[in-house]
Amino acid sequence: MDNDTSEFFLWEFSKNRELQIIHIVLLLILYSTTITGNLFIITTVVFYHQLHTPMYFFLMNLAMQDIGLVSVIVPKAVFNSLMNIRTISYSGCIAQVTFFFFFLTCDVSLLTLMAYDRYIAICNPLHYEMIMNRKACTKMIGGVWIASLLNASLHTIFTFITPFCSNIINQFYCEIPYLLKIACPGLYVSETGVVIFSAILTLGCFIFVLVTYVHVFSAVLRIPSVQGRKKAFTTCLPHLTVFSIFMFTGCFAYLKSMSDSPTYLDFIITIMYSIIPSMMNPFIYSMRNKDIKIALSRLFGQMSFRFKEV
């Protein structure tokens, strides 16, 4: 098979129709929960004026990226199961890889920026408004998008210039490790190099976040007010939790050995890093963040009042 092939065959969850229905229902539940939760975060930040701060500006962008991330892979998987097919076109696979890596890189970058934001707010509060002003935040988000698009383009180019010796992808969407597995032997060195480079950058982000939070928690413990310490912890812990879930599930999924015959365990592991973090983000931030709770309760209160008026 050469790289002019018109389509790939994705992993078929099961030939049993009942199990396919379970697969569809599971994906739809995860997808609808992710979309709903992140839309609530976006709506709350947009309409609640008190949340118009850099931290929530980054959180809103993170929610947008999470919606994009799951939308790249889940609808196609559900459509294939509904229609009882397992194909994806060559161009569709290229688009899936590009957008998936774009949103994935955006997530890592935004979580790193949010750690930096917390560091400035707690360790250098007097200069916070000067450093994290609207113009600076907009430039940071623009930089995230440009860097993410560049990273996604590099992965896509170096993956698909490689000739493939098979057209069977043992995953329910086009994922680079599984594409490299079907590449002709010895012809995927370039993409492997890009993957290693991205892994090093991701590790760098992880170390940066850890070092940042060491300084943050050291500063928090020196706050004399118990209420002040509690507020600082409640704004930092959700972010650290989200970042840890995202990193550890992703590392486990990419570092595990890939079997020649896919299993339901492989499917669950992939779900754990590609969908679950995006789904959990709104719940983690809502449960641990008092400002988000207040904003959501007021938003629901206004919606309920308007509904009663109608």
Per-residue pLDDT tens listing for the chain (310 residues): 444 467 899 988 777 878 888 889 999 999 999 999 999 889 888 888 888 888 889 989 999 999 999 999 999 999 998 888 889 999 999 999 999 999 999 998 998 998 899 889 888 888 898 999 989 999 999 999 999 999 999 889 888 887 888 888 888 899 888 888 888 876 566 666 777 777 788 888 888 988 888 888 888 878 777 776 776 677 677 777 777 777 777 777 666 666 667 677 777 878 888 888 889 888 877 766 677 777 767 766 655 545 455 4
Which pLDDT score is estimated for 259? Answer: 64
Whole-angstrom distance, CA of residue 50 vs CA of residue 58: 15
Which pLDDT score is estimated for 140? Answer: 94
Tokens read off for 37: 């939760």
Q: Is 227 exposed, middle or buried (0-12, 13-18, 19+ CB in 10 A)?
A: exposed
Q: Please tell me what DSSP assigns to residue 166.
A: -
Task: Please give, one letter per residue, the 3-state secondary structure of 108-162.
Answer: HHHHHHHHHHHHHHHHCHHHHHHHCCHHHHHHHHHHHHHHHHHHHHHHHHHHHCC
Which pLDDT score is estimated for 305? Answer: 46
Report CA torsion sign: 98, 185, 249, 244: negative
Tokens read off for 207: 């170390």
Which pLDDT score is estimated for 143? Answer: 93
Inter-axis angle of helices 54-83 and 264-274, nearest 10? 150
Whole-angstrom distance, CA of residue 61 vs CA of residue 289: 17
E strand residue ranges, 10-109: 87-89
Cβ-defined contacts of 45-50 (< 8 Å, 24+): 45/295, 47/299, 48/295, 48/298, 48/299, 50/291, 50/295
Whole-angstrom distance, CA of residue 9 vs CA of residue 145: 31
